[in-house]
């Protein structure tokens, strides 16, 4: 339900919500037309709260925004500045919400346009408080305008979401290719080391057998065989160390 946010992100969202709420409340109370100050204050608080948690919990923000709209309509209040929060919330549902919240935001964009249109034609301040045949063109225009504005906010969020997913997919692909290349390099180094060690062991075994047989009859041959064993072992170790150093420089470990 809650997304992980950095402390600075959460702080910025809360401060922005406080500033937005104060401006919206001041605009409403200072306009001289706030006949229901309690309703105006409650609506502004709810809408500002929705702004505060829009990135932390888009689903919760959507529910709080709807609660603010219900409070506003219950008191018969006309549209106010605080309603701008709805656009930020719809954007957040599309950009940050889960799959369910994503589609709830889409449904809210369409449903919200219908509710706004119906509500405007139900209050006396707009079109005389009723819908008539003569006002149908105006109602249709309001529905289209409201739907366009709400869906535009949601669509922008959806585009941001798609862009973020595309970047994540590209990053995952690059990481997968890097992992595949590292695995290929590890396999190559392992094969080379196996070849070197196998060859060196074959030489060491042959020389050791020769030294054992020559130990009692030809000390010089035995000493030469032991020298060959020592040289071969050191060469194998040197080659192995070189392969490991190459792997380390390439970011590959065995």
Q: With contact defined as beta carbons under 8 Å apart, do 19 and 51 qualify?
A: no
Q: Copy the structure tokens of residue 205.
A: 């075994």
Which range among 134-143, 163-172, 204-213, 244-253 has the greatest average pLDDT?
163-172
Of the chain, the percentage scoring pLDDT greater than 90 comes to 41
pLDDT at 212: 61
pLDDT, one tens digit per residue, over 170-224 is 988 888 888 888 888 777 777 777 777 777 667 777 766 666 666 666 667 666 7
Cα distance between residue 1 and residue 4, in whole Å: 10
pLDDT, one tens digit per residue, over 20-48 is 999 998 887 776 554 567 888 899 999 99
Which range among 54-63, 131-140, 201-210, 234-243 has the greatest average pLDDT?
54-63
Listing DSSP states for 79-142 in one string gives P-GGGGHHHHHHHHHHHHS-HHHHHHHHHHHHHHHHHHHHHHTTSTTTGGGS--STTHHHHHHH
Q: Which has more confidence, 60 or 212?
A: 60
**Helix residue spans in the chain (DSSP H):** 7-29, 37-52, 58-74, 85-96, 99-120, 136-214, 219-249
Q: Copy the structure tokens of residue 208.
A: 């050791």
**How big is the chain by its Cα radius of gyration, in Å?**
37
Q: With contact defined as beta carbons under 8 Å apart, do 96 and 124 qualify?
A: no
Cα distance between residue 142 and residue 3, in whole Å: 35
Q: Select from 159, 161, 141 the least CA-distant residue to 149.
A: 141
**What mean pLDDT is predicted for residues 132-141?**
81
56 pLDDT above the threshold of 80: yes
pLDDT at 248: 59
């Amino acid at each position: 339900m809650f997304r992980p946010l950095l402390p600075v992100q959460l702080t910025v969202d809360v401060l922005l919500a406080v500033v937005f709420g104060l401006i919206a409340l001041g605009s409403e109370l200072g306009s001289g037309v706030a006949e229901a100050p309690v309703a105006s204050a409650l609506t502004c608080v709810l809408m500002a709260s929705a702004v505060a948690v829009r990135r932390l919990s888009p689903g919760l923000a959507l529910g709080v925004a709807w609660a603010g709209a219900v409070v506003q309509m219950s008191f018969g209040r006309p549209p106010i500045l605080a309603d701008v929060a709805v656009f930020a919330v719809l954007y957040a549902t599309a950009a940050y919400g889960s799959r369910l919240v994503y589609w709830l935001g889409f449904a809210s964009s369409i449903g919200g346009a219908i509710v706004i249109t119906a509500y405007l034609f139900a209050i006396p301040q707009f079109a005389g408080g009723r819908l008539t045949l003569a006002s149908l063109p105006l109602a249709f225009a309001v529905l289209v305008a409201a739907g366009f504005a709400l869906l535009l906010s949601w669509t922008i969020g959806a585009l941001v979401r798609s862009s973020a997913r595309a970047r994540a997919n590209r990053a995952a692909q690059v990481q997968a290719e890097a992992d595949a290349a590292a695995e290929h390099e590890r396999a190559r180094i392992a094969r080379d080391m196996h070849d070197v060690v196998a060859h060196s062991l074959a030489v060491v075994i042959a020389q050791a057998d020769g030294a054992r047989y020559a130990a009692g009859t030809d000390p010089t041959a035995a000493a030469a065989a032991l020298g060959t064993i020592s040289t071969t072992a050191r060469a194998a170790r040197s080659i192995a160390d070189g392969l490991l150093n190459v792997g380390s420089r390439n970011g590959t470990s065995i």
